[in-house]
Structure 1
């Protein structure tokens, strides 16, 4: 059965355009309540959100839908997505709900769910919710209606959880710039690093409902790079709007991406005896990561793009560590989902253990030149990729590279884009091949 509403990471879209409308959110809350609360008496869910202005709208609509299904809601307010996952598990809630569009601009929003184990819902459960959405909406008897209340200690609980992932050590003497993307971590993020005694300069912590991810955070590193150099910091940490991603910047202002972060943590786990199973990357992971891990004797497996597929592959192969170039890193020995703050703390653990700078740790993984071009599309992306000119162009580039690199064309799971990636030894050739493929995709669109 194909999906109508759920994508690779919940339901997402532009606010006011289906499916991100108030009436749909109301029915989504009801349908999810019917499915997730089945077989229980007065089930309870926790609901968190990021800092988008539309979060108020969808929080109220979802709460009403859950109430109509007889499910009670604990409202967490602005809190990182991984914080909601943690509290779902810690509070033994039936489900966790996050109102966020992650790294997207403020005019987008979305809804994603966690099960009672703090993991994202299975395909089967999402399909059950979709099937329930097709049914007429009903309401339980008045004495069975769900109630809602604000849970004020949620942020504090999550802060302590993050600190526990770092152990008993201190960050005293370490100068950090933290970019919170004007998003969900604007309060809890600084608190974690400050309570571990780091010297923290915070940017991107003035959300106004409209500036989430706006020229800040993990999708726009320029302001963090400037701040690190200007303040003489040891490094910078960039979160995204819902704080499940983390990218970093070294003392010279150079980007340290998700592949390098994954390598640093894998090396740390191997050194401390905590690594099991292969490390899982994606089809977009740099070839340099695969080669660097192989040099350490660490197996590497590629999953489809999307943290849900990284998670599925980790479970299938018994691994504990996986991630994406974009900064989604999953440390299953610490948490159940990608967590930007926990990820940063694992990298800082490696710095302290080896007494080396972030630049020194990152350069141990040489990167192949990689060019990624996002091509906006109006038609079905899958159909465009199957057109004769695009298929022929891919075959042409593969023949020209002759085993000296990789190409990948794929639809975005969250935006109307086709992502064109080329990775090869020569930077000029890499750029030329990527632009050639992107142009063929544009031609197919027209």
Structure 2
């Protein structure tokens, strides 16, 4: 039946399936859990059970493996789970390190299995996903050697949680010129791993620079295939070349042009397949002070089109395939300027506030279709461009407005984006997350 349905298809309801197979619903659930454990099926809360999108040979292998394991005792299955998870955690750490620019992050593998037989899923092929007992974790060790492994306590299943220079302490940032807190060393990637993102397809608009560029790197490190959108072909190519070969493609397009966005969708779906995660980060305009009496109608329309209209066009164009498959995560980009009055441009503030309102409305409309829509609203983020332009004395003044004592980094926003893209946020929609270092506390 699974072979007949094909990848991405939704399984029939349990009652109907049990009747067709001539088994009890209890026995059916045991079989479904087994198939889920071997990555043949994926259960989505409130949406149903689906056949995973795997390569044909991958699906055949997983089915054969699950059928072979169906005759094993629970003790034998537990042994299989432990062996698979040990290998899977090492593989997840190896892939994460391979996806980073040097200097690479050093990983430790921590074995924290419980000893009792497990009745949930067997270890997934890619990373630990069991339901009972603490999960095995691959812990990135940042800075100096970190001594012990991950801190105790249960965590989100399947996540790889970050270590720190001193595990239980706060890792201090270096001081950049002018006395402001500097960013992490170039090439290090901090954050947790979300195994459910492995093999999925993402599109990042505005992905050729700044926050978008870092988001491409983080999603590629999760094992995703990423389409990088921007307007500058050279910048797009540079971003694509920063991730492992085969993980990213470049698609140049003006996201304020409906025809260009439609052409981008055709290219992405032809080369990578339907988009699972849509990070709509393309924008424009200025956060610099520009009061209304100094804002021309042309400035207004250009800024609103670049930030709000482009978000609307991209989502509307890519939405049909998400609706059809009953799944998808959309992340939009707003700004602290939309949350509280600032000296920013009036057009920019209004456009970003519109993005938040659009996000909430779409979350309400698309929730029943299994599509989640959330928003990130950064405060001052030290992109390379801003770092070149911001005078040190102004940076010190802005820094003092953030209780956490440093300015934001593109990585801060990229890590939140990966969380919102993953199943770890499966019950979050319509949310705006202020990546603002405590400057805005609603």
TM over 0.5: no
Larger Rg: 2
What's the TM-score once normalised by structure 1's chain length? Answer: 0.34
TM-score (norm. length: structure 2): 0.35
